[in-house]
Chains A and B, each alone.
Chain A
């Protein structure tokens, strides 16, 4: 029964995708909140360097040594970037963009020199081949299990354990590093641990989805989740859910269109993000545009009310509190003036008497409230 499960290619491919999605979401949530999304980009490119170097030394293409080597390469990237930025001769963003391409180029060049026709070609490095994960298996307890599933499963467990064990530390050092230091929570150590796990996960995910698509799994689902919720635990859960949904739908779409499975899964995270970006209940584009419109109308009504209130009973009220003043003083064009006036009349803020405008009691109260906050 178990053996049949692990022999099912479709299931194994989707499972691998899900594990990448979940492990990425666990880390990405904190990286997004810390505004370090581009470090993921840097790390996932430059682990190529680590992988090649470890491969040249040990001839291992996966396994613990590779994961360790890549984690070190990831840390090296972050360290070099911070070192470069600390000279204050280049800015942080430029520092990132200088360090990782250099390491990446070095990795590609080494491959180019030593490994012209081996397993580790540059194409795989970037794209991965999730469609073949079920071919490469190891035997555990008499059952053949795809190697990627084993490693991804392990890494996901480690990430989950890290997030659960250090949840408090992660939370505080993400939102308030100063406080974290004051509380003795070592935010720098937490930060580097987070980045080490990001690189380690990248290696485990690397056979399946490659370096660049991995970025999508780490950044995009948490970013989408960030547009849907304000709280940390729901954000983690939503991000993981998006990763899972993207894996399933991406697989289906890829099979239907006969295109790259990994690419389609990553693209699906983008689709989920697009939906969140457009239709998120509070932070979505549609909600924002709607809010902006209503706010503008409200602001215009308020401006009118305050205008009338300010000039009420003053000697120039005859000049200010009349309909033409909307165009001449408040500088609204005819259509807008008409609209604001109609809106304010309807809401019972203003009374119209010929061309003279009066505040209703409600309007007067509204103005007074506005001016006194």
Chain B
């Protein structure tokens, strides 16, 4: 299927070297890394090698600070619920932001039903949390701050290092959902100062179904999954060797190619921003262009609805993502977009365009060309457009 994939936020293809490594792991038929015999040790070595690769990607002090999980969502659940439960005797107050992923929101909702309180900080018009607001919200009862590194809908990056300086001073644990960031932008846990980082393999062209949680040594946290003593007693369950080996290989490639990829993404993003006004008018860019992922642009096209745009572009073999209520199945506009000040109507017309290493300048040009026709067609049908023009 030859489709121009501009929906790299939803899924990424596997790198050829990742496929090779995973097929190799399948052929190898690794034993259980917990087994004490020769075959088990061989598996344990392979597991350790993958763990080291991932640890290097984010500059961990120790490789065992990396815990392999099944996905970013599991990492987030583990971080938030694990810290809350382990520190409940110290306090039951958690600080977050209005723009978090549902994995954070619903984990916190679960904790609220169990007696925890949550302060959710608003963001400014540029979609960023003010670190001073974090400082102002911390009380003696605060045990956790969870604020995402980059937002999956807008691509905007938060001032994580500044927030970490505040949490460190106040001895509060800081978790960041970095599923969109790790493997895409330079991410150094020593420089950032965070205690917990959730991330996922598929973001940087590894397999879906495997993720990671960085837990800084000394952080008080309970496991999410309990049973055996895998993952240094932090996450029970026999490890997904095939997935983890794929993830490790992808991490090596991400570290090796990061500079090249950044240049590639920045080039595509600049081209899109430069040529967009020639394609359509009356749109809003939701991404904070100064502080954002290099591979994502969120735009809200006024007077039309996102799923319709997505379907018409699909007919032209272009895949994009939309944040309209209908498309996300939530029946309401995106909480992220409303938090940055968009009206409901504008929020419904939002497209998320996310580039991949497989995209070219020609892809961007083709997309913008087709977008022009799609937007014109849908605005011709739209009562909102008609009303706006008549006013």
Q: Do A and B bind each other?
A: no
Binding site for A on B (CB under 8 A): none
